[in-house]
Amino acid sequence: MSERFTETLHVDYAQSLGVTKVLYDNNSSLQHIQVFENDRFGRVLTLDGVVQTTQGDEFIYHEMLTHVPILAHGNATRILIIGGGDGGMAREVLRHKSVEKVTMVEIDEGVVAFSKTYLPSLSNGAFDDPRLDLVIADGADFMATSTDEFDVIIIDSTDPVGPGEVLFTDSFYGHAKRRLAKDGVLVTQNGVPFMQPSELTGTMRAFQQLFADWGCYIASIPTYAGGPMAFGWGSDSSKARDVDVAVLTKRLDAAGLDLGYYTPSVHKAAFSLPRYIEKLLP
């Protein structure tokens, strides 16, 4: 294996993945998109030189951003996903038969189109589910103008550079809060705190001002290198965070899900943070 892909996200640190075959390498109207094969991780999706997801470890990210808020809420029927053009987040949300409607807002139609062709296992039929309403639009504009309410809002954004930058602003989070139904939960992708501390701190400062119950939880995802990834959590009710393992187990059993990473015990433990991450919270 001679060819390698080196990620360009961090100035002082990089991860390198072997490339056995390039499947797609082109520019959409907004981003440079690549898909290549790697012996360990399978197919790898990158946007503007940054790994977005891989067949090998995507289940960890998608399970923890969907099942944690949905099972914690306990009665989530209306879900909003901002981003997630590869379809992985929609796939996991739609595994809950109790979910009645999923609105997915993706800014780049090109990501959706080529993901259907080159990464079909990620969406696994989600784009054909009648409960999914796919909206090609800017997520920030949608959040500012929508009048709908949602039980769970999932911000499946890229890092705060390029098209994803606007999804990390105080005004965006303020608009998102107004779209939450009573007892609703907002969760966000907040990067790897060891490598991107300001990303988490900035979001948590906004959440502290907006939500009665705010914080973050973590999960370790191999290709999001540099330590565990953080997911922001915001709600105006403590009900969802206070659910215990026994109730989560009952809800998981009722949903009939066979998962690869999430368990009720992992769910609760994910909110226990290492000290260096605690210090990043306001």
In this structure, which amino acid lies at residue 42?
G
* DSSP state at residue 70: H
Question: Strands of 50-54's sheet, edge to edge?
Answer: 21-27, 32-38, 42-47, 50-54
Number of H helices, E strands in the chain: 11, 13
* CA–CA distance, 185 with 122 (Å, rounded to integer): 24
Burial 15-37 (b: 16+ CB within 10 A, else e): eebbbeeeebeeebeebebbbbb
CA angle 36, 33, 10 (to 5 degrees): 90
Active-site option among 156, 159, 236, 258? 156
* Cβ neighbour number for residue 160 with a 10 Å cutoff: 18
Q: CB within 8 A of 98, min separation 6: which ones?
A: 75, 76, 77, 255
Q: CB within 8 A of 58, min separation 6: which ones?
A: 88, 122
Q: Is 156 a known active-site residue?
A: yes
Active site residues: 156
